[in-house]
Amino acid sequence: MAAITTIITGATSGIGKETALALAKKGHALYLLVRDVVKGDELVRQLKQQTVNKEIFSVKCDLSDLHSVYTAAEKLKSRLFAINVLINNAGGMYPMRKLSHDGFEMTFAVNHLGHFALTMHLMPLLQKGQARIINISSEAHKMGKPDFDDLNSEKSYSSMRVYGAAKLFNIYFTKSLAEKYRDKGITAFALHPGVVNTAFGAGAGGMTGFFLTIARPFMITPEQGAQTTIYLATESGLHTKSGTYFKKKKLAKVSSAADDAAARERLWQVSEEILMAHPAGL
C-alpha cells in the first residue's frame, strides 16, 4: 500500500517536530516545509536515524513571503501526485509590530495568510488525495476580535490581541474549507494543542512575557502538545466532524465569534483578493 503523503509546516521545533517524529514512525511520506533549510536538513537526518522511514524531505518555505510559499507549492506539485494530510502547524507571536516581506502585519501573515496561500496553491493535490487539512489554532481565539479595516494593525498593536485574531482566523479558515470543499472529499479540523513549553513567544515583553514566565513550569511538553494533531492526522472515521475544533483529542467549544459566518466569508474573500493581487497569484 502506498505511503500516506503528509505536509507539515513549522516542523523544526516544538509540537511540529514531535508530530513529524510520530508520523515518520507510522510510515508517512513526510515533506517538511521549513524556513531554515539547515535546520530542516538536520531534522530530516535525525528523523531518518530514529526511524526506518527514508521518505522524509525538507522544502524551503517562508510563510511570511508569498513568493516563497508559491515556489514551495510548485516544487511539491512537480514531485507529488496527491497529498493526503496537510498540517498547517507553523505560527508566531511578535512582541513588536513588524511587517512581512509582502508588507502585511507579521502575525496575520505567518499564522493565516501564508497557510491560506499554501493550501490554495496545493488544492489540486489535496483534492486528489482526499486530504485532511489540520490547522493549529488555540484557545487564544476566544480573545480574538477581527478588525477587517485594520488587518495590518496600523491603528494600534497588541501582540496578544493580534494573535487572538489570527487564531480565530484559523478556525474561520477551517470551517470555510469544510464547507466549500465538502463535495471534493476534503475534511478540515482546527485544534488547541494545549499550553506547551516551547520557544514560542520568546522575547515577548510586558504582561505577555510576564504570564509566559509564570506559566512555564505548568506547561505540557511538546510531545504531549502534539497528541491532538497526531490524532487528527491518523484517526479513522473523522469525516463527519469536518469543520470542528478539538482539544485533548475531543471536540471542544469555540467562541461565539468563531461561529460568525459573515466574518468567516469576509476573511476568505479578503484573503483571496490579497493573493490575486500578488505577483504569485492564486
Residues 6+ apart with CB under 8 A from 229: 15, 19, 87, 89, 134, 136, 191, 193
Active-site residue list? 163
Cα torsion 117, 121, 124, 130 to 10°: value is -40
Going across the sheet that includes 250-251, the strands are 56-60, 29-34, 5-9, 85-88, 132-136, 187-192, 244-247, 250-251
Distance in angstroms (rounded) separating the CA atoms of residues 227 and 17: 12
User: Which candidate, 88, 81, 83, places its Cα nearest to that of 8?
Assistant: 88
Distance in angstroms (rounded) separating the CA atoms of residues 49 and 21: 11
Please give the grid coordinates belonging to residue 34.
521549513
Residues 6+ apart with CB under 8 A from 196: 14, 15, 219, 220, 221, 222, 224, 225
Please give the grid coordinates belonging to residue 4.
500516506
Residue 35 vs residues 189, 202, 205, 228: alpha-carbon distances, Å = 24, 17, 24, 24
What is 214-255 written as a DSSP string? HHGGGPBPHHHHTHHHHHHHH-SS-GGGTTEEEETTEE----
Residue 196 vs residues 20, 190, 252: alpha-carbon distances, Å = 16, 17, 18
